[in-house]
Structure 1
Amino acid sequence: MKINRITLSHVQLPMKFNFKTAKGEVKYRDTIILKVEDDIGLAGFGEVVSFTTPFYTSETFDASWEKLEKDYIPKLLAHSISHPFDIHQCFDNASPMAIAGLENALLDLYFKEKNENLIVGLFQEKLQEKIPRGAVLGDMPLEQLFKETDQLVQSGVGRIKVKISPKDGFERTKLLVEKFPQIRFAVDANRSFSLNDWAEIKKFDQLNLVCIEEAFDIMHLSELTEISSRLATPLCFDESVQTLSELTEIAKLPGKTMLNIKIGRLGGLYQTMKAIDFCRHRKIGFWVGSMVESGISKILHVQLAALAGNVMAGDLSDSQHYFDEDLINPEISFPNGWMLVPTGVGIGVAVNEDAFSRATIRTTEFRVPEIRKI
């Protein structure tokens, strides 16, 4: 790969609503977009999905930006690589979301140069032609929760994940399940329950949920060994599994388990491919989540959700559900609850560079110095 220039952009997308979880709230989606250009004018795009505060993981927007600006990008431009995955041999994994964004941009460019779709090219698998929409609803007043759930049902959604807190999570979910029996529900606590609250989590077994995501605030996954064996509902893991070694700990738990797949959290598609392969061989259910990100990142998740073995619809709502204007064309859309999966070259769709320009707050540009072989 002959890289000529890399542009680092701070993009801010106003949310249509305040997205609230047990640990934080998002009003504006500040995100980092990387544009990697080769010497013949092709460009690849990637997104760094870290948040401005550490409510999700310890890696924040500012930490990602600094790592890219001062370490990863200068190091990349000082050397030559033949494949985007080569960066995992050169870099530490201190900032997995920063690595993922850079890797995705390089992969987009690499497969554009090959005139192939990125996900199909990596997995060497045929994708499903269309996928169902899953949705996630933040913590909100009950009346609003009923209203938005009803709107999702009317739009064709069959699986909804609801953010909950220890305060009233069970009671609210029970009312939802009773009011909308046709929907497959899951809940996400964002690690807001303590291990002493396990009896409260046990109540959710009454509701026939798809899974309970990130229920407990724990230091190590082994702390769940006894509790997982007592639960009929699968425990799903998201932010507590950021490495393959942590994924192996899930396989040791005696209860039913699932993994929420997010490219940024896992540190890129190199690690994501390994995680999916591990889940397939160890019979851990996997499905695809989202980071309230722009379409530049989410479109890759759409295609991952079209791989064989996904146990439920992903958290992949329409672009227009979150933003007035997304950064890709066409935008993500699920008419009647289904989306045709794009398989164009690179990430599969075009970047809307006009929208990208309008949403950009600042940029930093890097040009390649004289390259030396490694």
Structure 2
Amino acid sequence: MNLKDVVVRQVAMKLKQPFQTANGLVVTRDTLIIEAYDHDGYVGYGECVAFADPFYTPETTTTAWDMLKHFILPVIQKSRIDHPNQVHDTLSSIQGHQMAKASIETALWDLYAKQQGMPLKDILGGVYDHVESGVVLSLSDDLSSQVKHYKKKGYKRYKLKVQKGQERETIDKARQVLGDAPIMFDGNGIYEPEDMLHLTKLDDLDLHMIEQPFRQDDFFYHHQLRKEMKTKICLDESIQSEHDAFQAMELGAADTFNVKLGRVGGYHVAQMIHHYAKVANMPLWCGGMLETGIGRAHNVILASLEQFTLPGDLSESERYWEQDIIKQPFKVKNGLVQVPTKPGIGVTVDHKLMDKLTVRQFTFDLATTQQL
């Protein structure tokens, strides 16, 4: 791949309004942007989607920064990387840290596609030119006013963050505006086994699905709940590898998966999960992590794969940002987002704005020991 060096920068982007879940509050999105350069001047972009605080996963922007600088990039420097598919096995000696791994792997996929002069969608085998977009509404959002706005945009699915015991009230409030539009809620793992009866009583709400009601390592009670409800059960935090996906399928723990590139470690694992889902005829959808336009581009491309038939968390850039760090922000029209058609991830980064928002950065030389 003719790799030269990698720039890792921490960018602080203030959200248009705070994003509140049952587990945490995000006011300013601290994210890591990865720039992978080759000797011919091409650059591939990735994004580490870990949060500043460990409320979603143990990874944070701080742990990812340290892992990239002291472990992940040194391993890549000493290895021969001819194709981004090799990154997964190259980094297999490093346990965990999927989000940090995914950030460099996705950057190298973007770089590779640009070197080939092809859209990344085509290299990965994407089949959709447009993907259906859903929108996420946090606990701090004004449901009445914001739902009306998103309804006009034609969003195909609405995901609500909820508090335990107030699910019905929240959903009924949204239904007053949305009518019979698909609505789901995200449990973020806040429910305990003793909440099983409470959850089954929500079956009459005719939800699109319930996402991750129980803790991430609990396949058993997700399986039990799925047997008791007609409402579909989705796993999010539980799926961190292809083995997790296979195990969940074999145990009957879910009807669908929310696949996030960062959480599973990048495209290589996401493609393996996609393969399992295709064999099992399981629908998938792509989740979001309050990404900038760089991470959103990768998500939209992932959602172009065949088995991603459910609307993903692919809302337009202005949902979160006054100004995104890409020059052509993503738009939602009639509930659809266009998959980029230019080489790589198909977006142009606004380096002037990104420099302004950069808190810290470092450059890692990959050319010293690589013979590529």
Instruction: Give the shorter-chain TM-score range.
Output: over 0.9
Paired residue secondary structure (2:312): coil
Residue in structure 1 matched with residue 299 of structure 2 by the alignment: 301
Tell me how far apart the structure 1 counterparts of residues 76 and 182 of structure 2 sit (CA, whole Å). 45
Following superposition of structure 1 onto structure 2, how do residues 204-215 of structure 1 map, counting pairs within 5 Å? 204-215=202-213
Q: Equivalent pairs: percent with the same residue? A: 29
Of 127-136 and 342-351, more deviation after overlay is shown by 127-136
Residue in structure 2 matched with residue 314 of structure 1 by the alignment: 312
Paired residue secondary structure (2:244): helix
TM-score (norm 2): 0.94
- Give the direction of change, closer, same or farther, for the CA distance of 1:128–1:225 in structure 2 (3 Å limit): closer
TM-score (norm 1): 0.94
Residue in structure 2 matched with residue 20 of structure 1 by the alignment: 20
Cα contact 1:195–1:217 (8 A) shared by 2: no
Cα distance, 1:54 vs structure 2: 1.1
Which of 96, 114, 118 is the equivalent residue of 1:116? 118
Residue in structure 1 matched with residue 195 of structure 2 by the alignment: 197
Paired residue secondary structure (1:108): helix
Paired residue secondary structure (1:200): helix
- Are 1:95 and 2:93 an aligned pair? no
Cα contact 1:232–1:256 (8 A) shared by 2: no
Paired residue secondary structure (1:9): strand
Residue in structure 2 matched with residue 3 of structure 1 by the alignment: 3
- Are 1:185 and 2:187 an aligned pair? no
Residue in structure 2 matched with residue 44 of structure 1 by the alignment: 44
Cα contact 1:159–1:185 (8 A) shared by 2: yes
Residue in structure 1 matched with residue 361 of structure 2 by the alignment: 363
Cα distance, 1:178 vs structure 2: 4.7
Of 99-108 and 329-338, more deviation after overlay is shown by 329-338
Of 266-275 and 201-210, more deviation after overlay is shown by 201-210
Which of 277, 280, 283 is the equivalent residue of 1:282? 280
Cα contact 1:290–1:315 (8 A) shared by 2: yes
Following superposition of structure 1 onto structure 2, how do residues 231-246 of structure 1 map, counting pairs within 5 Å? 231-246=229-244
Tell me how far apart the structure 2 counterparts of residues 320 and 253 of structure 1 sit (CA, whole Å). 40
Q: Deviations over 1:277-321 (max 9, x none)?
A: 111111222111110011111112112223333232111111111
Cα contact 2:222–2:233 (8 A) shared by 1: no
Which of 343, 346, 356 is the equivalent residue of 1:345? 343
Of 109-118 and 170-179, more deviation after overlay is shown by 170-179
What is the letter of the counterpart of residue 257 of structure 2?
L
Tell me how far apart the structure 1 counterparts of residues 367 and 286 of structure 2 sit (CA, whole Å). 38
Tell me how far apart the structure 1 counterparts of residues 221 and 193 of structure 2 sit (CA, whole Å). 8
Cα contact 2:16–2:321 (8 A) shared by 1: yes
Residue in structure 2 matched with residue 75 of structure 1 by the alignment: 75
Residue in structure 2 matched with residue 252 of structure 1 by the alignment: 250
Cα contact 1:230–1:255 (8 A) shared by 2: no
Cα contact 1:234–1:255 (8 A) shared by 2: no
Tell me how far apart the structure 2 counterparts of residues 97 and 254 of structure 1 sit (CA, whole Å). 27
Cα distance, 1:105 vs structure 2: 0.9
Tell me how far apart the structure 1 counterparts of residues 81 and 207 of structure 2 sit (CA, whole Å). 46
Residue in structure 1 matched with residue 290 of structure 2 by the alignment: 292
Tell me how far apart the structure 2 counterparts of residues 32 and 368 of structure 1 sit (CA, whole Å). 19
Cα contact 2:22–2:188 (8 A) shared by 1: yes
What is the letter of the counterpart of residue 20 of structure 2?
K
Cα contact 2:11–2:357 (8 A) shared by 1: yes
What is the letter of the counterpart of residue 96 of structure 1?
Q
- Give the direction of change, closer, same or farther, for the CA distance of 1:271–1:248 in structure 2 (3 Å limit): same
Gap runs ≥5 in structure 2: none
Cα distance, 1:40 vs structure 2: 1.3
Gap runs ≥5 in structure 1: none
Cα contact 2:68–2:100 (8 A) shared by 1: yes
- Give the direction of change, closer, same or farther, for the CA distance of 1:93–1:347 in structure 2 (3 Å limit): farther
Tell me how far apart the structure 1 counterparts of residues 229 and 250 of structure 2 sit (CA, whole Å). 15
Cα distance, 1:68 vs structure 2: 0.2
Residue in structure 1 matched with residue 85 of structure 2 by the alignment: 85
Q: Deviations over 1:184-241 (max 9, x none)?
A: 1011010111111111111221111111001113643123332220111111111111
Cα distance, 1:355 vs structure 2: 2.0
Residue in structure 1 matched with residue 106 of structure 2 by the alignment: 104
Residue in structure 2 matched with residue 271 of structure 1 by the alignment: 269
Cα distance, 1:255 vs structure 2: 6.4
Residue in structure 1 matched with residue 129 of structure 2 by the alignment: 129
What is the letter of the counterpart of residue 358 of structure 2?
T
Runs of 4 or more off by more than 4 Å in structure 1?
none
What is the letter of the counterpart of residue 74 of structure 2?
P
- Give the direction of change, closer, same or farther, for the CA distance of 1:197–1:110 in structure 2 (3 Å limit): same
Cα distance, 1:2 vs structure 2: 1.4
Tell me how far apart the structure 2 counterparts of residues 314 and 334 of structure 1 sit (CA, whole Å). 12
Residue in structure 2 matched with residue 31 of structure 1 by the alignment: 31
Tell me how far apart the structure 2 counterparts of residues 158 and 102 of structure 1 sit (CA, whole Å). 31
